[in-house]
């Protein structure tokens, strides 16, 4: 059982990276498997997504502004296509339409992810344009303290807020920033 009568507050779950592929899958399983506990107010899920919409790396940035940051928000570009067939890449709980090409383009993947989020009502659990700047453990309360701030048009601007969670799920991807190995003489 998730909640108990002795518990004075709902069990709170934070999902960092909620708008990407792993985050959406986590939210969908959480919401479908624990639906009764959510409705009863015994547990609460809050998803955090730094970007403005569903899609993770598949949410293309039309014209990256190099003055804002070192790397663009996503490695996706207009002519990008998947390198694995969609029956392997897409969620088993929502198949692609029969007319979908075997190797889809980035926009099709993004549209699919948005459709998935809408089908399962996942947007209501996600705080978009929110950056996590710290996650610390508090031994006295047995909770995680998440420090967040607004993210978007004014990168790294805004008032930080600290909220408390019983459980932390980190579902962010590892492909946002390119990896450049250390190679002697490369910087020259």
Using one digit for the tens of pLDDT, what is the confidence trace for 71-127?
667 777 778 899 999 999 999 999 999 999 999 999 999 999 999 999 999 999 999
Q: Which of the two residues, 50 and 76, has the higher pLDDT score?
A: 50
Using one digit for the tens of pLDDT, what is the confidence trace for 8-48?
689 999 999 999 999 999 999 998 999 999 999 999 999 99
pLDDT above 60 (res 155): no
pLDDT above 50 (res 159): yes
Which has the closest alpha carbon to 129: 110, 154, 106?
A: 154
How far is residue 143 from each of residues 2, 8, 21, 136, 139, measured CA to CA in Å? Answer: 16, 14, 26, 8, 7
- pLDDT, residue 73, reads 72
Give the homologous superfamily in CATH for domain 11-170. Answer: FAD/NAD(P)-binding domain (3.50.50.60)
Q: How far apart are CA 40 and CA 36, in angstroms?
A: 6
Packing angle between helix 106-119 and helix 21-33, nearest 10 degrees?
20
- pLDDT, residue 4, reads 47
What residues contact residue 118 under an 8 Å CB cut-off, 6+ apart?
Answer: none
Tokens at residue 90, please? 């897409």
Q: Where do the domains of the chain lie? A: 11-170
Q: Which of the two residues, 156 and 6, has the higher pLDDT score?
A: 156
- pLDDT, residue 9, reads 83
- pLDDT, residue 63, reads 66
Least confident of 10-14, 88-92, 138-142, 149-153: 149-153
What residues contact residue 83 under an 8 Å CB cut-off, 6+ apart?
Answer: 103
> What letter does residue 105 receive in the DSSP assignment?
B
């Amino acid at each position: 059982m998730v909640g108990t009568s002795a518990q004075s507050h709902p069990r709170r779950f934070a999902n960092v990276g909620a708008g990407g592929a792993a985050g959406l899958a986590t939210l969908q399983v959480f919401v479908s498997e624990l639906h009764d506990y959510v409705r009863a107010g015994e547990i609460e899920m809050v998803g955090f997504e730094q970007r403005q919409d569903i899609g993770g790396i598949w949410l293309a940035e039309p014209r990256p502004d190099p003055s804002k940051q070192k790397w663009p928000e996503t490695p996706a570009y207009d002519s990008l296509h998947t390198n694995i067939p969609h029956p392997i890449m897409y969620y088993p709980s929502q198949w692609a339409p029969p007319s979908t090409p075997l190797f889809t383009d980035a926009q099709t993947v993004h549209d699919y992810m948005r459709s998935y989020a809408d089908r399962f009502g996942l947007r209501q659990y996600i705080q978009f344009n929110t950056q996590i700047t710290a996650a610390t453990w508090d031994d006295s309360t047995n909770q995680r303290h998440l420090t967040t701030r607004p993210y978007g048009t004014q990168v790294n601007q805004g008032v930080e807020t600290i909220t408390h969670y019983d459980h932390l799920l980190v579902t962010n991807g590892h492909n946002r920033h390119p990896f450049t190995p250390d190679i002697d003489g490369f910087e020259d």
